Structure 1
């Protein structure tokens, strides 16, 4: 693919969208540096054990269950641009403080605080986009931003790898991330404020997590987002422990997945701009995801290294297709089912479908397939197919509730 064609897919022609893309790029490079280098930094530089690092990072993930909704609510009630800028500056301070951490207690306290703030940036950014970008353009822009995120994340991995070459350079990992968060904050100040919808008086707090039809969409979407865990955790574990795939192939699978998303995410977003279109895309993503699971299941039937390797690579291709479709559908459903006056809160709640997958997915999916082998993969495929089948009626039920609420809210 020509470079010019690729750049046209990830760099919008207008200044506003380029600013949003630039913010995402700075954030993604910073996260790529820290996420890929954090284990090395905390074990070799700080002196923590692998168990302590893992426990701390998991605890940070749990904080997202609360902060994504809380900061979404805050974003609906104050300047979203100012809030996003404040969040990035707070993250910069937090990542900078990692360079001073020298005990497990300080690490646990700081990683929880940083995690809590970090999970607030996504709903705040999405809510700000909702005030700046027309509804029919939001999904495509989110797709561009995701492609850019993968590019930036890959750059960040390279920076972390370079820093890991010398013990003296390890401190560059948190400090580089801190600096990039400052860059993101400065770029946010160059955005317009955008118009916010007035919140109706008497609206119940935590309305999103009380909205049962909307929670149903989140739950089904969490199942369809299983590709996250499968590609990052379950498939590598399966390949290393239950197949004859050469070990050097396993890291290459993630590179292949990353490049695939960069090239095709924007194209996959076409048609997911509406709730109906997002449902169709989500259903197709489920079929692809189930197909990927079944391809992996076949590797339990042979020990031929060539056949297994080809099957694993083919499965990553299928799973990557499911990933870009599911991501696009999630943006369409999130924006389409969020009331205009509570976009931050509802988008923050919708982020729970990925957060819960990140927390529960590794233990559940890996446990099932490692314990039951071929039939474990078949069981996962069946559950995914059920989710793909019910996503449309579940989303339509939530949409009907949203439409029914509009006259009531208008008269409050």
Structure 2
């Protein structure tokens, strides 16, 4: 943990936010089905629609953060989220649920790039990746605490209302913590700079596209591996949730260490390349279970595969922060960070269906295909990152200011 007050406040904000998200994400299905009376398809459709809104909100709020200031916008976002989560207690129909869940999701996905822009504005460039690594470790701790709170609330029908109310209270707490941060100095905007430049830059979009493949560990660990283990192997079912807990603990313990050397574009590119090797290795190890149906082989291969994929995860996450901060002009941190977040958003939405479909349909060859895609992305990430970096124009003399 950092010793200076500024970084401690930033981490405290992340902790409050993560506990709230842990409470709601782990308890929302229970809340909406048992208390509101929605069926599983309605809940799934609403949550998917909320996820799709991220494609717009992530970039949009990044641009707004650059325009009005990340600190001011983050206060507004957390306060609005507190109201939104509180309104879940009044939802009584599917139509009300759809409208509110999409609105809340749209606002929620804007907090990521805004928070990143705040870090970029307040913390020196060579310290941003390490701080983000600390914040991710803290996020996993807070999310786990939130799951525990949701589990307690689910013990009783009357206590279910605590799921949205607790999340709303934590969003208020996060907003109050943001008010205690200093204002970042305004950054001059170069003459001729056009908003939404990040999503119109094909070289930057290429970095996002390659990073989307390298982020496949998200879908593989959370969805593809569990589905494969439960449906196509003889692995004891109780091991699956234990492996996910192991992955969470691994990230908490090693995310900061894995971020070393990722504070430059060149270093982040090399780390991303290595993460692809680990991702391919993890998939190939799990693929061994398709060759022989054996309990011992399944246990050893899948446990080893999750360990290898966990290494890929912490490496790729750290490299992503290094690339995002390194390729973002100082005057457009929010916009570029919001655009770079699209690689995780895309993976979260598309990855589970595509990757799970591959391995369930084609077995060993499906796992091999994912591994080959990871190796191809590893070969591409360094050159595409370098090409994107050289397109960044040097900061000209200040022309206009926000």
Give your verdict on TM over 0.5: yes
Q: Does 1:118 align with 2:108?
A: yes
* Partner in structure 1 of residue 245 of structure 2: 255
Q: Does 1:367 align with 2:362?
A: no
* Partner in structure 2 of residue 267 of structure 1: 257
* Partner in structure 2 of residue 59 of structure 1: 49
* Partner in structure 2 of residue 88 of structure 1: 78
Deviation at 1:309, TM superposition (A): 1.1
* Partner in structure 2 of residue 14 of structure 1: 4
Q: Does 1:173 align with 2:166?
A: no
Query: Which 4+ stretches in 1 moved above 6 angstroms?
Result: 408-412
Distance 1:121 1:83 in 2: 9
Q: Does 1:341 align with 2:337?
A: no
Q: Identify the match of residue 311 of structure 1 among 301, 305, 314.
A: 301
Distance 2:337 2:142 in 1: 23
* Partner in structure 2 of residue 216 of structure 1: 206
Distance 1:215 1:408 in 2: 24
* Partner in structure 1 of residue 221 of structure 2: 231
Distance 2:347 2:158 in 1: 36
Deviation at 1:383, TM superposition (A): 0.5
* Partner in structure 2 of residue 150 of structure 1: 140
Gaps of 5+ in 1: 1-10
User: Helix, strand or coil: the match of 1:171?
Assistant: helix
Q: Identify the match of residue 68 of structure 2 among 78, 101, 116.
A: 78
Structural mapping, 1:157-196, within 5 Å = 157-196=147-186
Distance 1:26 1:166 in 2: 24
Q: Is the 8 A contact 2:188 2:399 kept in 1?
A: no
Deviation at 1:135, TM superposition (A): 0.3
Deviation at 1:197, TM superposition (A): 1.1
Instruction: Output one character per residue of 1:15-34: Cα deviation in whole Å (capped at 9) or x when no partner.
Output: 00000000000000000000
* Partner in structure 1 of residue 290 of structure 2: 300
Distance 1:347 1:57 in 2: 24
Distance 1:372 1:410 in 2: 56
Deviation at 1:310, TM superposition (A): 1.5
Distance 1:170 1:326 in 2: 36
User: Helix, strand or coil: the match of 1:141?
Assistant: helix
Structural mapping, 1:14-53, within 5 Å = 14-53=4-43
Distance 1:307 1:363 in 2: 26
Deviation at 1:411, TM superposition (A): 7.6
Distance 2:369 2:70 in 1: 43
Distance 1:250 1:169 in 2: 28
Q: Does 1:328 align with 2:322?
A: no
Distance 1:88 1:256 in 2: 31
Distance 1:314 1:409 in 2: 53
Distance 2:128 2:2 in 1: 12
Deviation at 1:202, TM superposition (A): 3.1
Distance 2:122 2:56 in 1: 26
User: Helix, strand or coil: the match of 2:172?
Assistant: helix
Q: Does 1:199 align with 2:189?
A: yes
Q: Does 1:406 align with 2:394?
A: yes
Distance 1:410 1:333 in 2: 25
Distance 2:292 2:149 in 1: 39
Distance 2:397 2:39 in 1: 53
Deviation at 1:200, TM superposition (A): 2.4
Q: Identify the match of residue 353 of structure 1 among 324, 328, 343.
A: 343
Gaps of 5+ in 2: none
Between 1:188-197 and 1:106-115, the stretch displaced more is 188-197
Q: Is the 8 A contact 2:199 2:339 kept in 1?
A: yes
Deviation at 1:407, TM superposition (A): 5.8
Q: Identify the match of residue 390 of structure 1 among 373, 380, 391.
A: 380
Q: Identify the match of residue 370 of structure 2 among 380, 385, 393.
A: 380
Q: Is the 8 A contact 2:188 2:398 kept in 1?
A: no
Distance 1:356 1:327 in 2: 15
Structure 1 residues 197, 304: closer, same or farther in 2, change over 3 A?
A: same
User: Helix, strand or coil: the match of 1:270?
Assistant: coil
- Aligned-residue CA RMSD (Å): 1.1
